[in-house]
Amino acid sequence: MKTLVLANQKGGVGKSAVATLLAHYLAQQGRRVLAVDLDHQGNLTRPLQRSQRPVMAGVSSERLLTGAVASMPDAPFVLVPSDRSLLSLERQPTLHTPFARHLRAFLGAMAQRFDVCIVDTNPNPDIRVIAALASADFVLSPIQLNQESLEGVNGLLNHDRVGVRKIKAVLNPKLHLIGLLPTLVEATPFQRANFVQIAERFHPLLIPLAGPGKQYASIPRRSAVAEAQASGEVLWEMKKSAARDAWKDIEPAVATLAQAVGPVAAREPMEGHHVTAA
């Protein structure tokens, strides 16, 4: 099992929407997917639960850090939901090391059950993020194309607690940064200028797309994505033409990210395809 953590120290960047798209996409490919929501806001839990595609675990994600978990449902797509008790973990500093160990032990126990684990994290740089990164194979950072987010890239890399470089050097040498994923991208002169700026400053951290020209993975701002998150629908199965158009623009980035977590087997076309949890 490969574990991918989505992390950003700023909220409102579309991180949970990317996690939702990836979880559904990987499940549609026939991958066995474990989705873990470590954000007490539950922005991954709600759309996946409403979709009725994953089977709900019998425990919340707080239990993955605080104690042994006996088992997970016998299903190819499972969600471990968040709850508000996650907020209390940072306030127990003497237990931070056991929390990280418990999560690592859980992921190790799931290694033969699932192909991919998608972990959505909270924007606060706390023990939940540290524990997730300390056991992950990959980290992906969705960012917005504004000055605050561009300046926040330094925090992603160099924060003294949850910086990728610190985690990799001290806790998890296997951790690999897939890269920065610009989200909520709009076709405005301001956004285009910021995209050029980030490409100039951080091009080694952007995620190249296959094909001619120098193109990088990004997620455009589309109202259909927000509608899918709110309703629990799978974006590419929505009947609206706006949703189909949105997916056409988004699929290259999602397919590239799915490939980054491991080889992808041949799959059926997505149009009209449903994934049903066993």
Q: What percentage of the chain has pLDDT greater than the value 70? A: 90
- When pLDDT is cut at 50, 70 and 90, the band that residue 38 belongs to is very high
Rounded Cα distance between 52 and 276, Å, is 8
- Inform me whether the pLDDT recorded for 277 exceeds 60: no
Domains of the chain: 2-260 (3.40.50.300)
pLDDT at 138: 97
- When pLDDT is cut at 50, 70 and 90, the band that residue 154 belongs to is confident
* Residue range 250-261, pLDDT digits in tens: 999 999 999 999
SS3 98: helix
With a CB cutoff of 8 Å and minimum separation 6, the contacts of 151 are none
User: Which comes out higher in pLDDT, residue 134 or 124?
Assistant: 134
Strand (E) or helix (H) holding 44: none
pLDDT at 162: 86
- The answer to which of 11-15, 31-35, 214-218, 270-274 has the lowest mean pLDDT is 270-274
Taking the mean position of all CA atoms in its chain, how far away is CA 87?
20
Can you tell me the mean pLDDT for 68-90? Answer: 92
pTM for the predicted model, two decimal places:
0.89
pLDDT at 278: 29
Residue with token string 């690592």:
104
- The answer to which of 7-21, 50-64, 93-107, 218-232 has the lowest mean pLDDT is 7-21
Can you tell me the mean pLDDT for 180-196? Answer: 80
Range picked from 54-68, 155-169, 184-198, 262-276 for highest mean pLDDT = 54-68
